[in-house]
Structure 1
Amino acid sequence: MSAQPEPAPEHGAATGPAHSRPARRLDARSLRGLAHPLRMRIFELLTLDGPATSARLSERLGENTGTVSWHLRHLAEHGFIEEETGRGTKRERWWKRVDVTNDPHTADFHDDPDSRGALSVYLHELVQQYFNRVTDYVAEDWDQTWRQAGTVADWHDLRLSPAQLKALNAELFEVVARHTPAPDAEAAPDALPVVVQLQSFPRRERGDA
């Protein structure tokens, strides 16, 4: 099996003293607990949109409440989400993501075929989430100010060594971190949630074919 790309710690998580959160290095069991298409979608919604009940998540996802509730319990069992105390009732539980940075390392799963399979599912679902976010943005009706502020761009004429690519990624992470406000910072009146996605990877040279 070919080498897997190394995911960044908690896709999209900012790092830096103003907004750092505890890091959690995922083991094989935890990764298998997350690496499921519906569980990853549930986790994404709780991450992006905040706490929700199984009923609200079911409506967003087009799934029945029983199925969503089962996957919520599974995510909680593996430490990715937790019940929000002091909110809801015995019949309506609110769930939120646990405020830690989840950090998978591909080398940790290299020798276990089952774990490699879970990592493959995780990465493919991650890429699908990135794609869905971009297509949603393109399809939505934004005013000209936001259209001019956002971007979808790529650079394909770089030739880098592994060390150079790693250094480039580190610099880009630092730039995003500088623009990520502390949780208690006051946002600008016209501010909205913004997603920054980063994919950087080597490409096989195809020659003259």
Structure 2
Amino acid sequence: MNEPSEDPQVHSLDARSLRGLAHPLRMRLLTALRHGGPATASQLAQKLGESSGATSYHLRQLAAYGFVEDAPEHGKGRERWWQAVHTGVRFDSALLRDGNPEVRGSADLFLHEIANHHTRELATWLGTRDAWSEAWNRSSDMSDWTLSLTPERALDLIHKMHDLVESFRVPAPDDGAPDVEQVRVHTHVLPLPTD
């Protein structure tokens, strides 16, 4: 779906690493470490409503595939602390056409889990928006458009949206303000069947 990444903080998925990541709990664990910072298996189990045995096992699997690593500056007790290795992953749509059906199945599961994650984030926002300030309520967005585009123009739109979002990663003068929060941006560009 996206072009190969040149950013060392973004891991480009291949067939091997995709098989290691394409599991609902592993994807949730990795997201929790990316957004919340280093944590132990027990802390993640409590946060995600899972058993610490399950989180510990899947963290070790994520480590074997290079997605997480020890966070030694946090490991002062008996529990092992984990941290994400990369800030994100890049998915290549060629994985959906791989000759190995196991790879195609992993690619399909991965994309469905991303869609489920977006839905959970949106549902969480809708369920908790009253707890946020009026400024944040005014500054949220849930929009959609229907456009008539060729595949080439759709790809151009995707690149322009990504470039715009990336431009906001540059620290702004107000990044130290007390009301700065992490903000999630979801984009979906997909063709619709017509009757």
Q: TM-score, normalised by structure 2?
A: 0.90
Segments of 5+ residues of structure 1 without an aligned counterpart are 1-5
2:25 equivalent to 1:35: no
Of 140, 145, 150, which aligns to 2:140?
150
The Cα shift of 1:178 comes to: 1.1
Of 181, 187, 191, which aligns to 1:198?
187
In structure 2, do the counterparts of structure 1 residues 108 and 127 end up closer, same or farther at CA, with 3 Å as the change threshold?
closer
If each structure's helix is expressed as a fraction of its own residues, which one has the higher value? Answer: 2
Given that residues 39 and 82 in structure 2 are in contact (C-alpha distance below 8 angstroms), is that contact kept between their aligned partners in structure 1? yes
Task: Please provide the CA RMSD for this pair.
Answer: 2.2
2:37 matched residue in structure 1: 50
Given that residues 96 and 108 in structure 2 are in contact (C-alpha distance below 8 angstroms), is that contact kept between their aligned partners in structure 1? no
The Cα shift of 1:85 comes to: 1.5
Given that residues 95 and 107 in structure 2 are in contact (C-alpha distance below 8 angstroms), is that contact kept between their aligned partners in structure 1? no
Q: Structure 2 matches for 1:62-141, cutoff 5 A?
A: 62-89=49-76, 91-99=78-86, 101-110=88-97, 111-140=99-128, 141=130
Segments of 5+ residues of structure 2 without an aligned counterpart are none
The Cα shift of 1:86 comes to: 2.4
Of 131, 145, 166, which aligns to 2:155?
166
- Matched-pair identity in %: 35
The Cα shift of 1:188 comes to: 2.5
Q: Which has the higher contact order (CA 8 A, sep 6+)?
A: 1
In structure 2, do the counterparts of structure 1 residues 101 and 193 end up closer, same or farther at CA, with 3 Å as the change threshold?
closer
Aligned length in residues: 191
Most deviating of 73-82 and 92-101: 92-101
Most deviating of 145-154 and 94-103: 94-103
Q: Could you tell me how far apart the structure 2 residues matched to 1:23 and 1:195 are? A: 17
